[in-house]
Amino acid sequence: MLILVANLGSTSFKYRLFRMDEDGGEVVAKGGYERVDDYAAVIDDALATLQRDGVISSPAEIDAVGFKTVLGKNLSGCVIADQAVIDALEGFAAVAPAHNPPYANGIRQFAKSLPKAELVALFETAFYQWTSQASANYAIPKTWRDIGIRRYGFHGASHKFVAERSAELCGREDVAQIARRLYLDGPQSVSGKPFRVISCHLGGSSSVTGILNGVAIGTSMGFSPQSGLPQNNRVGDLDSGAIPYAMRTLGIPLDEAERQLTKESGLLGLSGVSNDIRDVRQAADSGNKDAQLALDCLVHSIRHWIGAFMIELGGIDALVFTAGIGENNPALRAAVCQGLEGFGICADPAKNAACRATECDIASDDSPAAILVIPANEELVLAREVFRKLS
């Protein structure tokens, strides 16, 4: 099955074409465009390029297009990308302004350019469909809940991949099978011991998710991507009382408060140096106290959520690190695991230091819990889900 994974930004379009079968898949072509103002033109150009390069003999050969949609109003899951998906994206365009409008436009455009292909949307919120009401709800009036304000969670594709892969690596094929088929069959019970995972997706945008038997039980991200851990330049969790106080005291309007919280906060806001953790670390190492504070706040927040999910899960079998920071930053992983031996999380300093951007278990030989580094590959995750949905 030929599956095109479309990554649509507010001014960019990137794609990867996968050939998928029961045993997995491979990328057969990839490409992209920056500074896009006409999606129709670049999508048609991409299809023409694939044909000219001999990758396909006709665009009609492409069986499906997959979209990693972020947040839909009253809609989630891995679903056929029809008008209901477009309406759901447009219904929450104001909550995810950088993501929803380009995906709504992209889906419309692909429906025209590839009328025979199946279009599939995998919502980033899909993995959290089965979290408890207690974990999903905020203590707000019913009128607020009725307009869709609740904890949705993001990075669902990445955390679901961790659910599958961690079970495979820990010899829990029963759980891996449940996780792989989750969007087809829903949660299933396991006959043996429960399998408890805490997944740390740490990148430009970060979240921690608790996973029981392949199914998310909760996550650090909430209603919008301005929540949970400190992000690269976006605020994480913030007391709602801080916003009216800052607006009144600093004399700034709502749009400016929103801009500062979404563009000038997170690691950048705390450190005053950069939104990239490599620059923040360098500044901290040269004595910049604000940069050190930024790193400390990130580690504190990651540990806060790990602690929360350890209680909810009743223990832990695997702690997982993924995405840019999780895969490449041994110092941060060491700081997160510091002093957790009493909870069964014992990192091996040498294994941790040696592991960069490859799959490995960095736990010591006698650690009760595995500590896994699992590289993220969100395009492949998407291609797999589309293949599963359609086959």
The answer to whether 4 touches 15, Cβ cutoff 8 Å, is yes
Q: Within a 13 Å sphere around the CA of 370, how many CA atoms are in the beta-carbon half?
A: 23
Q: Does 176 bind ligand ADP (CB under 6 A)?
A: no
Rounded-to-integer distance, Cα 178 and Cα 38, Å: 41
Nearer to ligand ADP, 194 or 204 (CB): 204
Rounded-to-integer distance, Cα 192 and Cα 53, Å: 51
Whose tokens are 């109003």? That residue is 73
Nearer to ligand ADP, 201 or 389 (CB): 201
Nearer to ligand ADP, 96 or 215 (CB): 96
Stretch that binds ligand ADP, among 158-166, 197-205, 331-339, 358-366 (CB under 6 A): 197-205
The first and second tokens of residue 214, run together, are 């392949």
Q: Does 277 bind ligand ADP (CB under 6 A)?
A: yes
Please give the order of strands across the beta sheet that includes 196-201.
215-219, 207-212, 196-201, 318-322, 370-373, 360-361
- Applying the rule CB under 6 A, the residues between 94 and 153 that interact with ligand ADP are none
The minimum distance between CB 206 and ligand ADP, in angstroms, equals 8
Stretch that binds ligand ADP, among 124-132, 181-189, 273-281, 287-295 (CB under 6 A): 273-281
Rounded-to-integer distance, Cα 354 and Cα 195, Å: 27
The first and second tokens of residue 49, run together, are 């390029």
Q: Does 291 bind ligand ADP (CB under 6 A)?
A: no
Element (H, E) at 85: helix 83-91
Nearer to ligand ADP, 157 or 217 (CB): 157
Nearer to ligand ADP, 46 or 200 (CB): 200
Nearer to ligand ADP, 34 or 173 (CB): 34
Instruction: Choose among 233, 1, 236, 226: nearest CA to 96.
Output: 226
- Applying the rule CB under 6 A, the residues between 311 and 330 that interact with ligand ADP are 323-325, 328-329
**Closest-approach residue to ligand ADP (CB):** 324
The minimum distance between CB 232 and ligand ADP, in angstroms, equals 6
Stretch that binds ligand ADP, among 59-67, 181-189, 272-280, 335-343 (CB under 6 A): 272-280
Helices (H) and strands (E) in the chain, counts: 17, 12
The minimum distance between CB 52 and ligand ADP, in angstroms, equals 30
The first and second tokens of residue 365, run together, are 């030989």
Residue 347: phi and psi, rounded to 5, are -80, 150
Interface with ligand ADP (CB under 6 A), residue from 153, 203, 228, 236: 203
Instruction: Choose among 212, 210, 233: nearest CA to 220.
Output: 210
Q: Which residues bind ligand ADP (CB under 6 A)?
A: 203-205, 276-278, 323-325, 328-329
